[in-house]
């Protein structure tokens, strides 16, 4: 098979890139190891920055997001027994939309299938070849048949555990990593919203978060040991922990309901650079990971592929490689800003075992500074909505 761009991975990054290329008349083939049902059922966070909303709308795939997503104009920080609102829109003129990642994937799959795109699900044995040449290729097995794609470019959007990053030439590569030593215990629950906006809570027992998904489904998290297991937590124990960490003396309470999903994730930061070698490029989680505290993961993936789509449009439309050659440098400016903000939010809101009493007091002093200083609140808001 021959195509202009081979894309590995049908997450938000790979699907959106394929769609953006299609809008500019550029052919692509998308390879995905999971089934369509699997990718559309994988429930992950979905805080969309203003810029991400704009890209999806401009690409013609934002109608359902606008109709069903929850537009939020602020967030709340809870600590010391009180909640403090950060007015995102008043401080920045922008907002966020809470719209789950799997819903974005459904919208993108529908758009690609309506355009009769080549989406190959349930492929295996994917391997990159000739990554140091101008004629890279990808081999794979689909429906029991071995096949190969000859492409002008190969884009790895297959996540941290995918095959793309390990296939990049090793000389000159740098990996930057921070493991925070803590995790998030996440639940999905059938209940009415406990809050109209996201609540980030810092408590002596650890961090907690309320995030609305739909009018009937809520997502809640609390800090835990990443080596813990969900079977150690009964529903009663979970609710007791969330009530303790989130509630204060004002009478507000977390809405309980039927918990239908539990999982634990470990918090870490990771960046692999450069994000390109020859005509092979990385985007999204293939190249970088952020802790979820800053709500940047999917937004960074969208930013990456938007840059790549622009570079490929310049290449095919004008014969210019400037955008592609500058991809890593341009992407890393945004990535490191997001890594910083995610690290800062994580450090601000979580309890760490090695914190001294002095450090805990500094953490509380910084939280007081953030909610009582317009300059500090604006800095948080600008980073949160992506207004830079």
> Active-site residue 72, yes or no?
yes
Beta strands in the chain (DSSP E): 2-8, 28-31, 47-48, 70-72, 74-79, 82-87, 96-98, 118-120, 123-129, 137-142, 145-156, 174-190, 199-201, 208-212, 217-224, 258-273, 276-277, 280-282, 288-289
3-state SS class at 26 = coil
What is the C-alpha to C-alpha distance for residues 280 and 301, in angstroms, rounded to an integer? 16
Catalytic residue among 99, 200, 221, 327: 200
Catalytic residue among 19, 22, 72, 106: 72
Catalytic residue among 22, 94, 106, 296: 296
What is the C-alpha to C-alpha distance for residues 207 and 213, in angstroms, rounded to an integer? 19
C-alpha neighbours within 13 Å on the C-beta side of residue 80: 11
Cis peptide before 289 (omega within 30 of 0): no
Assigned token pair, 349: 């809101």
> Active-site residue 180, yes or no?
no
Residue 254 · residue 194 · CB < 8 Å: yes
> Active-site residue 296, yes or no?
yes
Q: Pairing state of beta strands 174-190 and 199-201? A: unpaired
Q: Pairing state of beta strands 2-8 and 28-31? A: parallel
Residue 262: Cβ-neighbour burial (10 angstroms; 0-12, 13-18, 19+): middle
3-state SS class at 11 = coil
Catalytic residue among 94, 291, 292, 327: 292
- Helix-helix angle 12-23:101-114, to 10 degrees: 30
Instruction: Give me the active site residues, please.
Output: 72, 200, 292, 296, 384
């Amino acid at each position: 098979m021959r195509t202009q761009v081979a894309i590995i991975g049908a997450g938000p990054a790979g699907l959106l890139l394929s769609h953006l290329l299609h809008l500019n008349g550029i052919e692509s083939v998308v390879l995905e190891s999971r089934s369509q049902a699997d990718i559309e059922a994988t429930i992950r966070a979905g805080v969309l920055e203003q810029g991400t909303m704009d890209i999806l709308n401009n690409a013609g795939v934002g109608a359902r997001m606008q109709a069903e997503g929850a537009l939020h104009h602020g967030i709340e920080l809870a600590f010391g027994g009180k909640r403090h609102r950060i007015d995102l829109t008043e401080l920045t003129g922008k907002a966020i939309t809470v719209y789950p990642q799997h819903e974005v994937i459904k919208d993108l799959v529908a758009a690609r299938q309506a355009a009769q795109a080549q989406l190959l699900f349930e492929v295996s044995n994917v391997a990159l070849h000739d990554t140091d040449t101008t004629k890279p290729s990808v081999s794979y097995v689909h429906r029991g048949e071995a096949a190969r794609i000859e492409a002008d470019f190969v884009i790895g959007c297959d996540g941290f555990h995918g095959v793309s990053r390990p296939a990049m030439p090793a000389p000159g590569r740098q990996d930057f990593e921070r493991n925070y030593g803590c995790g998030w215990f996440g639940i999905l629950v059938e209940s009415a919203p406990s809050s109209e906006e996201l609540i980030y809570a810092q408590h002596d027992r650890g961090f907690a978060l309320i995030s609305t998904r739909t009018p009937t489904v809520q997502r809640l998290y609390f800090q835990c040991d990443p080596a813990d297991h969900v079977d150690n937590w009964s529903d009663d124990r979970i609710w007791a922990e969330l009530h303790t960490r989130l509630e204060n003396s004002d009478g507000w309470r977390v809405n309980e309901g039927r918990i239908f999903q539990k999982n634990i994730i470990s918090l870490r930061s990771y960046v692999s650079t450069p994000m390109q070698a020859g005509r092979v490029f990385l985007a999204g989680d293939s190249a970088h990971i952020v802790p979820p505290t800053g709500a940047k993961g999917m937004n960074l993936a969208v930013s990456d592929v938007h840059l790549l789509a622009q570079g490929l449009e310049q290449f095919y439309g004008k014969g210019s490689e400037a955008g592609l050659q500058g991809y890593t440098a341009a992407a890393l400016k945004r990535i490191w800003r997001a890594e910083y903000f995610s690290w800062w939010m994580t450090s601000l809101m979580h309890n760490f075992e090695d914190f001294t009493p002095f450090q805990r007091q500094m953490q509380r002093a910084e939280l007081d500074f953030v909610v009582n200083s317009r300059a500090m609140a604006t800095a948080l808001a600008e980073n949160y909505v992506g207004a830079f």
